[in-house]
Structure 1
Amino acid sequence: MLVHPKIDPVLFALPEIELFGFHFQFAVHWYGLMYLLGFLGFWWFGTRRAAQPHIQWSREWVSDLLFYGVVGVIIGGRLGYMLFYNLPGFLGEPLSALRIWEGGMSFHGGLIGVLVAMWWFGRVHKLNFFDVGDFAVPMIPLGLLTGRIGNFINGELWGAPTTLPWGMVFPAAGPEPRHPSMLYEAFLEGAVLFAILWWFARKPRPRMAVGGLFLLGYGLFRTLVETVRLPDAHIGYLAGTGWLTMGMVLSAPMWLAGAAMLLLAYRRR
């Protein structure tokens, strides 16, 4: 049995100051730092992907795409969380969506935001939407990896109780050892999916193939982890099933669309 190390989610904070009657304090959270590392990883690997012989992208395009993507991730991730996982709170207080520092980001909402950002980027640079997606998706798992490590540091998104030797006791989840499901996601949706996509995208592939593989891989990996990850307490299991989660419902269209895109890509080839 393992025990969560109880890491302080705040890396460091400056003394609180008062300005015009308002109190302000600057603090750096581990979770935000993990997002920053994910963005930096996207840029570093993106510039190397742009230099591959079958890719005709400039470093400036990579930087522009990263900017568009950051905006899409933050806006889409926050709105997705409020709509998919906290709709009553959002309807009761719409401005609560602006309080990002309180936590609450949805991958599926962030993905929608990124898709919109990629569409807009392609429109500005006169690029096909699917070509933009095929270029970008091999680097996206890096952000999933660092983001789930941020969840682990915060001691959140734990799984169901388990008797497995790597079961972990989380401070806010009681004395029972539980699946460290956020680490499962970091490994599968982050490290493994990145390795698969980076290897697959090293050679020229038909349009939509790389993007389709990402959707298929993420959807399947997320659905697999959802079998041991506890749903949010205020949502619970859907339809009284005792097993169906919102994550499964939101992931199903992803792996279905990914499989369809792969089939279409190679049939059109």
Structure 2
Amino acid sequence: MPYLDQIDPIAVSLGPVKVHWYGLMYLLGFAVAWWLGARRARAGRLPGVTEAGFSDLMFYTMLGVVLGGRIGYMLFYGFADLLHDPLSLFRVWEGGMSFHGGLLGVLAAIGWWSRKHRLHFFDTVDFIAPLVPAGLGFGRIGNYIGGELWGKPTAGTFFDGWGVVFPRALPEPFASMSPAALRAQFETGALNAFARHPSQLYQAALEGLVLFCVLVWYSRKPRPRYAVSGWFALLYGCFRFLVEFVREPDAQLGYLAFGWLTMGQLLSTPLILLGLYWLWKSRSSPTLEPESR
């Protein structure tokens, strides 16, 4: 039985100020990352780094997520719009964030911070990697609540009769109906043919929960340099590549090749290769031991 997604994307309205669930999900992801990272920093997992130094690291990585995510989205998914209207880069309220762009922003922030604190770049990356999946998971839940980045239709497939109806993905005349009228149509079964894969929830489960559990468990004790980063890149790349098969490609891009290759898959392929390389490299790399405190 399909489900109709009619969750209000606005969590709180205070006069003209509207707080969206998507923004709250970002804050929740940052809060979990900060909490877990602070615990590990106090345990000496970043030798020589004080709590103030860790706070600086989190501030710069959060800045890298936001700036890199927005710039990456415009370069990877909205380059034509950026050329036509360069100011669109700053209209963040219109939506549009890229994980791969955010990742590059985070790596740039880590590089700057690591050099300042005289730490090996990958020692810091290994420390940060287990903190990232929480934000990915909550972010995908925010996508689901906002009814965006939906999956492909399930009608006529093995999953026929199951899925989620996203109002923003409906054709006319359904798209312009009021929520009450749309609910009435749904209850008659008229919208069942428009059910789609909730790919946002698939990603929240794989890139968020599963990746978080694996990395936190794996990094519970010191590992060779590159190992934690390698597992992060490999698993995220594989999870994202697989979910893209049931996720609707970006309308402005469509499929890039072979009738199935999406931009998400194209950008995830280097991560899979890098993950394999870093895991291989970790076999002959030193292990950073925690500092006694």
Same-fold status (TM-score > 0.5): yes
Whether 1:230 and 2:239 are equivalent positions in the alignment is: no
- Residue of structure 1 aligned with 2:164, choices 155, 164, 168: 168
Aligned partner letter, 1:32: G
Deviations 1:156-184 (A, max 9, x none): 11111115264111112233111100000
**Quick check: 1:152–1:183 contact (8 Å CA) kept in 2?**
yes
**Quick check: 1:75–1:113 contact (8 Å CA) kept in 2?**
yes
Q: Show the counterpart of 1:246.
A: 263
Q: Show the counterpart of 1:22.
A: none
Whether 1:27 and 2:44 are equivalent positions in the alignment is: no
CA distance in 2, matches of 1:166, 1:132: 43
Cα deviation, residue 5, structure 1:
3.3
Deviations 1:38-67 (A, max 9, x none): 110110111122234655343323211110
- Residue of structure 1 aligned with 2:204, choices 174, 186, 190: 186
CA distance in 2, matches of 1:266, 1:51: 27
State the percentage of identical aligned residues.
Answer: 56
CA distance in 2, matches of 1:104, 1:196: 28
Gaps of 5+ in 1: 16-24
Secondary structure at the aligned position of 2:284 is classed as helix
CA distance in 1, matches of 2:128, 2:113: 12
Q: Show the counterpart of 2:151.
A: 159
Cα deviation, residue 234, structure 1:
1.1
Alignment of 1:143-158 (within 5 A): 143-158=135-150
CA distance in 2, matches of 1:55, 1:86: 38
Secondary structure at the aligned position of 1:27 is classed as strand
**Quick check: 2:5–2:164 contact (8 Å CA) kept in 1?**
no
Q: Show the counterpart of 1:42.
A: 33
**Quick check: 1:209–1:262 contact (8 Å CA) kept in 2?**
yes
Secondary structure at the aligned position of 1:248 is classed as helix
CA distance in 1, matches of 2:240, 2:94: 24
Secondary structure at the aligned position of 1:63 is classed as helix
Secondary structure at the aligned position of 1:13 is classed as strand
Cα deviation, residue 27, structure 1:
2.1
Aligned partner letter, 2:236: Y
Aligned partner letter, 1:6: Q
CA distance in 2, matches of 1:113, 1:55: 21
Q: CA RMSD in A?
A: 1.5
User: Is the alpha carbon distance of 1:263 and 1:81 closer, same or farther for their aligned partners in structure 2, counting shifts above 3 Å?
Assistant: same
CA distance in 1, matches of 2:162, 2:279: 36
**Quick check: 2:46–2:124 contact (8 Å CA) kept in 1?**
no
Q: Show the counterpart of 2:214.
A: 196
Larger C-alpha radius of gyration, 1 or 2? 2
CA distance in 2, matches of 1:4, 1:126: 52
Q: Show the counterpart of 1:14.
A: 14
TM-score scaled by structure 1? 0.92
User: Is the alpha carbon distance of 1:188 and 1:89 closer, same or farther for their aligned partners in structure 2, counting shifts above 3 Å?
Assistant: same
Cα deviation, residue 70, structure 1:
1.1
CA distance in 2, matches of 1:214, 1:51: 23
**Quick check: 1:43–1:62 contact (8 Å CA) kept in 2?**
no
CA distance in 1, matches of 2:79, 2:196: 28
**Quick check: 2:33–2:134 contact (8 Å CA) kept in 1?**
yes
Gaps of 5+ in 2: 171-190, 287-293
CA distance in 1, matches of 2:45, 2:260: 44
Secondary structure at the aligned position of 2:19 is classed as strand
Q: How many residues align?
A: 259
